[in-house]
Chains A and B, each alone.
Chain A
């Protein structure tokens, strides 16, 4: 496969995934804040800052944000590289460049998605369309994942897209954990251990579509420990970092079985990170969550850079 096209496939996967997480984060945060149990979690400013922070637009907490402006920037502003609109546009641009390798069915779905986002009324979106727009985005991405799995050959094309999807998913989940962890420090819960019981943990699970399964797994209301364990280390949770790493590892071996023992390769680093995670405990993570988040993010960036260097450097 052409190195240029491999790059396109990888980033197509990443942008599809990014669009989904951004959309869901906006949706869940905003709507769960409406009836949140404490004042801060209910506060519009708190939610808007949280949304900006998640997409990497760090704004001083003291600055007052306008709801419509934040919605527009994160959802549909063509000038903002992080907007959902741009994620969808970039993913479709990448699909265009690799169009001969992907199925007609998949292309048609991504193209429809693109037109849906481009044609959505900006006015409606910022005034009343948040829920409609973001749920549609999430659904379109689910369709795309289905078409990727169901209509493409499970060869290196598939492996590259899935590498992109899972690296992005791990990155977004860890970013969401980071953002909500910071929120939980501010919006503390009641009783003896305020941070551990914060309402933000529930929101965090919902942001990752993992609330129901978390309840089913622990049979208790979510607290810091169970939420972090579930989203970071539980390999059967499809949104957990552990699950992503397992998939990244699996697709990496499809792409390149030979390099796994080369200690400078992406494949080696992926294997190493996965092994470290496999024997990590949530108690260790809890000791310094910020540090753990930082190192996870850094390693993911490093993996991406190595992939770029080894495969996409044309």
Chain B
């Protein structure tokens, strides 16, 4: 079905990157007369960390919103796990196994950290409303299983100490981590991170980078992330897509991208690194 054959490769740290998980084919997205994304295609392979970078207003977030179903493109299709995806609502996309975080953090502020992360398990809860309400039978085992998975993620992201804290009280950096935990709780086939390190200080950025790498390593989660900070992106990702004014101007490993003249002109040329 796929025109492109996946090019398996091995990353620097020896992970095998295999089949194509998602293929973005000729996506065009317009808001009225403004073209946010113009004819962009790329793919995301199983197990890799794929970054989308570009200057402000390049259309990175729009791209992520297309993948997660929040925007419906005028043209082009998203292929997921070998099948063309029809236009679907964001909650359907989530049910397919694509979890995401938001640039401006979208957490359930009134709930505790634990409850927030538990909502990530909603798509995995199958028992009926009555057995849940009566707390018996399969509902009980299911709840225990879900709790176990959630606790593992909470441990993993080192947020045990704030499990019961209402999210509204947490500092920014921790909120970002809770949001990541919620997305992970869904055991996503593809994890989308919208500027996971935006607004963080150096230390928080280092923590977050470590968590992203660990998640990819430990759970084998395929990750597609948008980031502003060039340094971070180059260290983190296996392959990078570069966007500028809604167009794709580069695609490849961090090293390839770094040496791409178009990219240097558009982005690195004005970088202050």
A and B interact = no
Interface residues of chain B, those whose CB is within 8 Å of chain A, are none
Interface residues of chain A, those whose CB is within 8 Å of chain B, are none
